[in-house]
Chains A and B, each alone.
Chain A
């Protein structure tokens, strides 16, 4: 329960996605942060290190020599009972990959700010989801934010969600590199007191440092027991929708902002819906509004939680539509794009077949404009389905009109 104190409960300030994340970290005051900087998430550990140096937190800040060491230190601290946070992007995430499933299997409730950036080559610092999507099977919760306000709110939520007894699962709080991380915009911050009341302190289960109840992590386990242990991890993930719903309502009680696993924009009576994640949803929602003004029943569904994937909500929203377009900001070479694959899976159980058109957009930071979203809605009206092309590409394989 959140208690309102004497302190002014809110302040609105200009900030960015990265700085909002760092400010949330200062307020949460985690026990341990181990981080290694990489563009475009660099500002998160940079700003947080400044808070530590200024004595504004009690955090043990561990400056390590690589992302692999960063996440390894985080896992060690987390299973010892500490509240732990870090941040990374792109190749930093890839270097952490070996440790991610271990963190999830240890049920180490780490919160990681994942600022999406393409993996390259060629070397590129800009946004797509090719760093986070390969981690979808690592056992971490994945939440994708649209703007800096949502980043801030989600960090607070993620701490409670990860540490909840029925969940005990680490969380990626994702935001689009540069587009969200470096855009300067107003954010409403809660007071330190409200944040600290909301996040409380971590009550670890089976911490390594509890000498009265000795436990062991990382033991050798053969085929006799491994499968059973793995299944308990899946149980934690399956509890996420319920726990996340409860915590979101609790947080919304003070913020006035409640986020679900999906965000519906004019979807109820829509004929055609565009499904998209993260920052590109803004353009799609603007286009929905302008199309509505012209009498087109357009809608936008933003998928915010990718793991666990909200199959039920997606089916409920899209099951009766005339056409659905799924916009993926990453590719799975030789396979279905990740979001399209999930949406199609969600729709398989519908009594009526819903046509799904799948697009690739925004790779390596390629911009996504209103004209692009309009083209997608035109395609849907013409009954397009299946793989529908590359939006914003500048060669002969492009779908739509883009000046070369």
Chain B
């Protein structure tokens, strides 16, 4: 969905403190790095507290990345918390053809309408909260969102995210690692593109 031939692809994450947007942006960077890309992952550091709105960023490129300012005109926006569709202004500064990946229980068409996205924008909606509540018994929307990002970064498979998670989290129980794997795969399968 995103083209890396002409400079870097820029990603902006909207989450809440403690939800793991920062970790997810780091995992995305690591998996793309393992795929041979140049990457950056950097959160916006503010007053760190649970539930406070936070932003994190990625740059991904097939060439070395020099700029280190925050992302102003993202190609990809990930909304980790459903309430942030309204509260965080996820469309701010976005390119018209941006891809939005939103954790939301809502109908994708209705969500798109509500966000007022331009015609050339694309929206991927997935109920990541529901998936992780079912698979992990916890609201940790990261895993399904990473799975869904495999639609956006076509070079990366959902399996790559799952394998990466398993290799990084060796101290977790095999049961939990499997649950995360299912959550990642379901994120890919259940994402609706409109």
Instruction: Determine whether the beta carbon of A367 is less than 8 Å from that of B33.
Output: no
Residues of A within 8 A of B (CB): 14, 40, 125-126, 147, 176, 178-180, 182-186, 279-283, 285-286, 367-370
Shortest beta-carbon contacts, A-B, top 4? A282-B66, A184-B41, A183-B42, A282-B67
Residue in A40, A184, A369 whose CB lies within 8 Å of B42: A184
Apart from A185-B40, A282-B67, A282-B68: 11 A-B pairs, beta carbons within 8 A = A14-B33, A14-B39, A40-B45, A182-B43, A184-B26, A184-B42, A185-B65, A279-B68, A286-B66, A369-B72, A370-B67
Residue in A125, A185, A367, A369 whose CB lies within 8 Å of B45: A125
Contacts of A281 in B (CB 8 A): 66
Return the chain B residue nearest A184 by Cβ: B41
Bound Cα distance A185, B64 (Å):
10
Q: B52 → chain A, closest Cβ, in Å? A: 15
Known: A183-B41, A184-B41, A185-B39. A14 touches B29 (CB 8 A): yes
Residue in B26, B33, B67 whose CB lies within 8 Å of A186: B33
Q: Does B172 contact A (CB under 8 A)?
A: no
Known: A14-B30, A186-B33. A283 touches B42 (CB 8 A): no
Q: Does B110 contact A (CB under 8 A)?
A: no
Contacts of A14 in B (CB 8 A): 26, 29-30, 33, 39
Q: B65, B67, B72 — which one has the most chain A CB atoms within 10 A of its CB?
A: B67
Return the chain B residue nearest A265 by Cβ: B66
Contacts of B45 in A (CB 8 A): 40, 125-126, 178, 182
Contacts of B68 in A (CB 8 A): 147, 176, 179-180, 183, 279-280, 282-283
Instruction: Determine whether the beta carbon of B67 is less than 8 Å from that of A184.
Output: no
B:12-34 near A, CB below 8 Å: 26, 29-30, 33
Instruction: Determine whether the beta carbon of B69 is less than 8 Å from that of A184.
Output: no
B:72-98 near A, CB below 8 Å: 72
Q: B15 → chain A, closest Cβ, in Å? A: 16
Return the chain B residue nearest A180 by Cβ: B68
Known: A125-B45, A178-B45, A369-B72. A283 touches B39 (CB 8 A): no
Q: B26, B65, B70 — which one has the most chain A CB atoms within 10 A of its CB?
A: B65
Bound Cα distance A280, B68 (Å):
7
Instruction: Determine whether the beta carbon of B69 is less than 8 Å from that of A283.
Output: yes
Bound Cα distance A18, B26 (Å):
15
Bound Cα distance A283, B8 (Å):
13
Q: Does B38 contact A (CB under 8 A)?
A: yes
Instruction: Determine whether the beta carbon of A183 is less than 8 Å from that of B66.
Output: no
Q: B29, B65, B68 — which one has the most chain A CB atoms within 10 A of its CB?
A: B68
Bound Cα distance A279, B39 (Å):
16
Contacts of A283 in B (CB 8 A): 66-69
Q: B182 → chain A, closest Cβ, in Å? A: 26
Q: A374 → chain B, closest Cβ, in Å? A: 13
Q: B29, B33, B66, B70 — which one has the most chain A CB atoms within 10 A of its CB?
A: B66
Instruction: Determine whether the beta carbon of A186 is less than 8 Å from that of B70.
Output: no
Contacts of B70 in A (CB 8 A): 367
Contacts of B30 in A (CB 8 A): 14
Known: A283-B67, A369-B72. A182 touches B42 (CB 8 A): yes
Instruction: Determine whether the beta carbon of A286 is less than 8 Å from that of B33.
Output: no
Bound Cα distance A403, B46 (Å):
20
Contacts of A182 in B (CB 8 A): 42-43, 45
Bound Cα distance A182, B45 (Å):
9
Contacts of A370 in B (CB 8 A): 67, 69
Bound Cα distance A397, B70 (Å):
23
Contacts of A367 in B (CB 8 A): 69-70
